[in-house]
Amino acid sequence: MKDTRPIHLNLFQIKFPVTAIISILHRISGFILFFCIPLLLWALDCSLSSAQGFDCIQSIIVGNMAGKIITWLVLAMLCYHLLAGIRHLLMDWGCFETLRGGKISSWVVIVLAVILIILLGVWLW
């Protein structure tokens, strides 16, 4: 009997549903935030320790285009992770358990995240 299952899966050819994409991106954003939050806390500590520290952090974030972009990306991940986390908590409470409800809540998270990320970019620049 011939086994027709693929030996090597090409993840770029598999069409994931929107609910799976939201869940995977939630995990990725959480992993990246795990490493970014200590840097943000260090920047907060430096900026609150003295006027020179505040000026240094301000010149890195506000005076530097790369600093603005990195700050924007970290805040964008934080917004997305927060929205997707709220969605997961609501699902744990029994909301959006149907396939249709899961898809709708996934699209709501995407739309709200895009709106918040754009607003963050406008606020930073």
CA distance 95 to 106: 12
Residue range 1-31, pLDDT digits in tens: 677 776 777 777 778 899 999 999 999 999 9
Q: Which whole-number Å values give the CA distances from 110 to 42, 65, 88, in the listed order?
A: 30, 26, 14
pLDDT of residue 94: 92
Q: CA 107, CA 41: separation in Å to the nearest integer?
A: 32
pLDDT of 6: 65
Q: What pLDDT does 91 receive?
A: 94
pLDDT of residue 16: 87
pLDDT digits (tens, 9 = 90+) for 55-88: 999 998 888 899 899 999 999 999 999 999 999 9
pLDDT band at 117 (very low <50, low <70, confident <90, very high): very high
Angle at 73 between CA 122 and CA 43, to 5 degrees: 100
DSSP the chain: ----S-SS--TTTS---HHHHHHHHHHHHHHHHHHHHHHHHHHHHHHHH-HHHHHHHHHHHTS-HHHHHHHHHHHHHHHHHHHHHHHHHHHHTTTT-SHHHHHHHHHHHHHHHHHHHHHHHHHH-
% of the chain beyond a pLDDT of 70: 97
pLDDT at 1: 63
Listed range (61-65, 96-100, 107-111, 113-117) with the worst mean pLDDT: 61-65
Mean local confidence (pLDDT), 90-115: 95
Regarding pTM above 0.85, the answer is no
The better pLDDT of the pair 113, 5 is held by 113
